[in-house]
Amino acid sequence: MRGQKLYIRPIEPGDSENVRKFLSAHGNGNAVPACGLIGKLVGELVAVMAIDLRETDAIRVEELIVAPELRRKQIGRVMLSELESLAVKMERDWLTADTRGGAREFLRRVGFVDEGSRMVRRVGR
């Protein structure tokens, strides 16, 4: 990945088939998220983040999936950084995430703290 730029953008309706294939191969086969971001590296889909915008002061990360062969290469961090920039533009103060599976340790490493059954991170402005 060194020297390559991760291109991140919102999921669009035309992405449905590629996202569905990616989630089948690397995720738990969930449906294509209604709202989220995708990450592409050299034109290839390498990450999908499902988000929820219903909270008025936060953006909730529902799921972040990075292709297994590219984990530990900063892709998750870059995706969350882009989400934080989006939160600032939307005047949201928090990023939140429910903790499932092995995500807790990753979320701690990227600045989230425990708050009951979820983890939160204050958005820097």
Domains along the sequence of the chain with CATH = 6-122 (3.40.630.30)
Confidence of residue 2 (pLDDT cuts 50, 70, 90): low
In angstroms, the CA 8 to CA 11 distance is: 9
- Over residues 14-53, the pLDDT tens digits come to 999 999 999 998 877 778 888 999 999 988 999 999 999 9
pLDDT above 90 covers a percentage of the chain that reads 55
80 in Cβ contact with 124 (< 8 Å): no
Cβ within 8 Å of residue 105, ≥6 positions away: none
